Structure formats: C-alpha cells, structure tokens
C-alpha cells in the first residue's frame, strides 16, 4: 500500500530515511501518519539490506505534535491494524480515551523505541509534545541549530505527554523545569542535558545524519542490535517502563479532572494557538 503522509527514501542501500510529509500541518501526527510511520518502520526492519533508519520531517519543522482532528472517515480499530493489544476505542469517555491513547501514543511509541535496528531522529525547527515522543523513540537525536523542543502539556492541565521519559532524558530537576515552565528549549540546552547527541547548522543536518548512519552501518549489525537491546533492557531493569505506565495513569487522571471541570480533556486556558501558522496540533 502507498503511504499518504510520509516519504521513504534510500539515500544509501544500507539506510532507510522516513520523512514525515505533512508540511501544511507542520508534520503534526494524525492517525494516518501514525500507521504510515509504523508500516515504514516495519518494512525497514524486515529489509535485511537496511542497517540504520532515519526519521526526519519535511521542512520547515520536524513535528508540531499530535493532530487531534479527524480529517477523514477512517476509524481506529477498523481501518488500521492494531499496534497494541487494546480494543474498546469507541467506548464513551475515559474508557475510550484510555484505550485510544494506549494504542496510538503509548504502545506505538514503545514499539518504535524497541525496533530491532538503530534509529536516528533528524530534528529541525519546532519539535513540540508529540514530536518529542517521536524523537525520544529514536536511539540518537541530531538537531539543527535552530531546533527547539517544547512540552506545553502541563499548561493544558495534563502532566506531560503520554511517553513520559522526561526524567530519563533530562534528569529530574530539568524535567520539572521543562514541564512546569512550558517554555521551548534550544538545541544547545537540550544537548547540555544529554537529550540531543549533536547540534549542527541546519544546512548540514541531512549530511551529518547520513554520515553518522553510515558510520554505524560499518559495524557488525548483530552486535549493534544487541548493544541497543542491552541498553534498552538496562533502562527497563531501572524501571523506566514502570515509571512510564504510572505517568500514563496520572495523565488520564488529569484528563478525567479536566472533563469534570471543563467538559473537555484539556484545560482550555492552556490551548492558546502556538506561534506556528496553520492547523493547531493539540499535544495531549
């Protein structure tokens, strides 16, 4: 099946580059894009020639977050294959919301984090909320000098995005600051915490990431894979997965509180339009 929201490139026989291609929506992630990305990752993992996978976004921005608008007639659980073991997406209120976010946010991101090949996020421009989740699912992050990173979800009355790895990516104190202040971080600030591996001029981003990917492809593929597995399992032994699951429960407690107070899943006072032009990408 063709892809509607992404472009898959092979700049090198050993490298697959997945490019999010909704520039009119600033690469906000809707249902179609979620499952396009998942299929493209699957194809790259199953292609024995591919050694490294790059995730990028069509200019001007990497990703503005989660696009919560339903722009076509396709339905979750009907027109898309399951990523998780969850169902009940059409159930009312908290039950349906919990099931939907398990499927398209939490379990999808976990699946991408555990892909059997190394992944590199090439981030330019804005990387907001759900965009952070996409970058954090990758093994390495390279950012352009103009890249900025933002999770504004606390301002919306929710305790951060669904893939809650802020303390692991930033350390506990910087994680609290990012979330409580809800202000964008520069690429250099993100690099200083260890969240970003490299910061390069925007004009050099693509070449730098390709060179980095090529360097990894020169290593024995099975050793690379086992190294990724060892590091990810170390994080799991340190209870990263348990902490993410706990934060996901708090996330949905916040949704329930907002429904009781405002009749919607987020606090409307925090839903001011972003500085991006075009469709608003709500980042729950």
Q: Is 28 a domain residue?
A: yes
Sign of the CA dihedral with 138 first, then 143, 146, and 149 last? positive
Q: Is 117 a domain residue?
A: yes
- Angle, helices 93-101 vs 240-262, to 10°: value is 150
What is the tens place of the pLDDT at every residue in 199-210?
999 999 999 999
What is the tens place of the pLDDT at every residue in 87-97?
999 999 999 99
Which residue do the tokens 């591996």 mark? 197
Residue with the bigger pLDDT between 79 and 243: it is 243
Q: Is 284 a domain residue?
A: no
Beta strand 140-144 pairing with 185-186:
unpaired
- Under the banding of pLDDT at 50, 70 and 90, the label for residue 243 is very high
Torsion of CA 96, 76, 124, 129, to 10 degrees: 0
Distance, in Å, from the CA atom of 85 to the CA atom of 105, rounded to the nearest integer, reads 13
Containing structural domain, residue 256 = 6-270
State the Cα angle at 59 between 5 and 148, rounded to 5°. 110
189 near 183, Cβ under 8 Å?
no
Q: Is 280 a domain residue?
A: no
How many domains, in total, are found in the chain?
Answer: 1
State the pTM of this model: 0.93
| Maximum C-alpha span of the chain | 56
Residue 131 is given by DSSP the state H
Burial of 270 (0-12, 13-18, 19+ CB in 10 A): middle
Q: Is 56 a domain residue?
A: yes
Q: Is 94 a domain residue?
A: yes
* pLDDT over threshold 80, residue 11: yes
What is the tens place of the pLDDT at every residue in 164-182?
999 999 999 999 999 999 9
CA distances in angstroms from 161 to 80, 95, 108, 155, 237, listed in the order given: 23, 18, 13, 12, 22
Both tokens of 208, joined, read 């730098």
Q: Is 107 a domain residue?
A: yes
């Amino acid at each position: 099946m063709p892809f509607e929201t992404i472009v898959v490139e092979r700049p090198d026989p050993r490298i697959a580059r997945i490019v999010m291609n909704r520039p009119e929506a600033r690469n906000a992630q809707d249902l179609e894009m979620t499952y396009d990305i998942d299929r493209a990752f699957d194809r790259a993992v199953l292609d024995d020639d591919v050694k490294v996978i790059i995730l990028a976004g069509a200019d001007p921005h990497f990703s503005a977050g989660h696009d919560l608008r339903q722009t076509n007639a396709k339905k979750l659980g009907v027109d898309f294959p399951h990523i998780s073991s969850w169902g009940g997406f059409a159930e009312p209120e908290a039950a349906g919301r919990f099931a939907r976010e398990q499927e398209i946010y939490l379990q999808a991101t976990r699946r991408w984090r555990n892909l059997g090949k190394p992944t590199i996020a090439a981030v330019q421009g804005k990387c907001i909320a759900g965009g952070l989740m996409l970058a954090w699912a990758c093994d390495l992050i390279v950012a352009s000098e103009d890249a900025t990173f933002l999770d504004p979800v606390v301002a919306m009355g929710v305790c951060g995005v669904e893939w809650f790895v802020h303390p692991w990516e930033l350390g506990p104190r910087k994680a609290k600051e990012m979330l409580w202040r809800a202000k964008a971080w520069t690429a250099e600030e993100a690099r200083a915490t260890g969240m970003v591996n490299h910061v390069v001029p925007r004009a050099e981003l693509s070449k730098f990431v390709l060179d980095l990917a090529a360097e990894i492809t020169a290593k024995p593929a099975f050793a690379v894979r086992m190294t990724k597995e060892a590091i990810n399992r170390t994080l799991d032994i340190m209870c990263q997965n348990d902490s993410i699951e706990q934060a996901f429960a708090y996330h949905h407690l916040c949704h329930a509180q907002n429904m009781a107070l405002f009749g919607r899943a987020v606090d409307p006072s925090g839903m001011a339009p972003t500085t991006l032009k075009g469709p608003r990408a709500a980042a729950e």
